[in-house]
């Protein structure tokens, strides 16, 4: 599979987002997790993204155990900072379902955007991963804590780690275009992970965030490109999940129209959704999750499916994507 590069890092266009390895929504076994990762590797994935948040460290541990069997120079790995994992005695006997993860709630997430907190988070992630370094470090969900603290404290700490050679690239991962724009404008980041705000169904990040990325040479990684599953099948359902909630009626009508155009060109909706954001030159990789090996194999096929240029023209002509 071809690669795109920024700061010397090879990013495969199709990347694996490892939230499901943290038992997102449902429990999976260690054997199932290993099979998922083997399938991703065999499909050509060489960029893997995780976070302490995903299953209270379970995702990092499972991903690290798998990558320990692979040559270190053959993959790119990113994790995230901003939340520290600390003991939670009150959670004994319960699960972390409040945060959508089916894992024991014996730990809790504690926000910490200080330089010390950023370094501590990285150190603890490396211990869970069993690696001596990660390639990319993202500040995770700054809009859920404090964007000003992100700009004033966390991001300068990340840049210092990059300048010291501890990591190769730093960035911000967020579902908020406002937070992404503020961080891109007021900091020296290499990458933005845009989650759900630049997809085939909706493109709010295209208006403000992407122009700044082009101007400053910031790379983009898109995530949640299926809008929490809405675009993941050829026959979408109005009862599907969208941003962990219900699908807004206006968006549903838009998805129906996009689906009709895709069918007229005999292109599966998920294939168009996977390939759409890569049409922008700032986009380096598309991070996709998956809790079953069949999902990963199918997505790899969709990523390589031929799509005629006329489909994108038809979508633009109908005002369904920006011209």
Q: Which residues are catalytic?
A: 54
C-alpha–C-alpha distance, residues 113 and 187, integer Å:
15
Give just the sign of the alpha carbon dihedral 120, 122, 128, 130. Answer: negative
Contact 136, 169 (CB under 8 A): yes
Distance, first Cα to last Cα, the chain: 28
b/e code 1-32 from CB counts within 10 Å (16+ = b): eeebebeebbbbbbbbbbbbbbbbeeebeeeb
Q: Which one, of 146, 168, 140, lies nearest residue 81 by Cα?
A: 140
Contact 278, 13 (CB under 8 A): yes
- How many C-beta neighbours within 10 Å does residue 105 have? 18
C-alpha–C-alpha distance, residues 252 and 265, integer Å:
20
Give just the sign of the alpha carbon dihedral 3, 6, 7, 12. Answer: negative
């Amino acid at each position: 599979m071809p690669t795109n590069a920024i700061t010397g890092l090879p990013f495969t266009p199709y990347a694996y987002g490892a939230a499901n390895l943290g038992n997102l929504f449902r429990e999976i076994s260690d054997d199932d997790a290993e099979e998922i990762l083997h399938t991703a590797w065999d499909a050509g994935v060489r960029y893997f993204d995780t976070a302490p948040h995903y299953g209270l460290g379970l995702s990092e541990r499972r991903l690290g155990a798998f990558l320990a069997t692979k040559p270190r120079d053959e993959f790119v790995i990113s994790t995230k900072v901003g939340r520290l994992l600390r003991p939670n005695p009150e959670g004994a006997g319960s699960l972390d379902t409040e945060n959508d993860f089916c894992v024991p709630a014996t730990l809790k997430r504690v926000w910490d955007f200080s330089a010390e907190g950023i370094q501590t988070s990285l150190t603890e992630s490396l211990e869970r991963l069993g690696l001596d370094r990660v390639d990319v470090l993202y500040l995770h969900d700054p809009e859920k804590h404090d964007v000003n603290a992100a700009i004033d404290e966390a991001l300068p700490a990340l840049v210092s780690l990059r300048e010291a050679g501890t990591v190769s690239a730093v960035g911000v991962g967020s579902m908020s275009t406002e937070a992404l724009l503020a961080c891109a404008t007021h900091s020296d980041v290499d990458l933005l992970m845009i989650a759900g705000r630049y997809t085939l169904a909706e493109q709010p990040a295209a208006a403000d965030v992407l122009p700044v990325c082009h101007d400053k040479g910031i790379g983009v990684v898109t995530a949640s490109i299926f809008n929490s599953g809405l675009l993941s099948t050829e026959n979408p359902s109005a009862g599907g999940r969208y941003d962990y909630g219900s699908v807004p009626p206006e968006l549903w009508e838009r998805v129906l129209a996009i689906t009709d155009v895709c069918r007229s060109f005999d292109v599966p909706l998920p294939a168009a959704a996977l390939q759409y954001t890569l049409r922008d030159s700032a986009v380096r990789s598309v991070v996709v999750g998956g809790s079953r090996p069949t999902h990963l194999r199918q997505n790899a096929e969709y990523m390589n499916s031929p799509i005629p240029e006329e489909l994108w023209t038809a979508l633009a002509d109908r005002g369904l994507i920006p011209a």
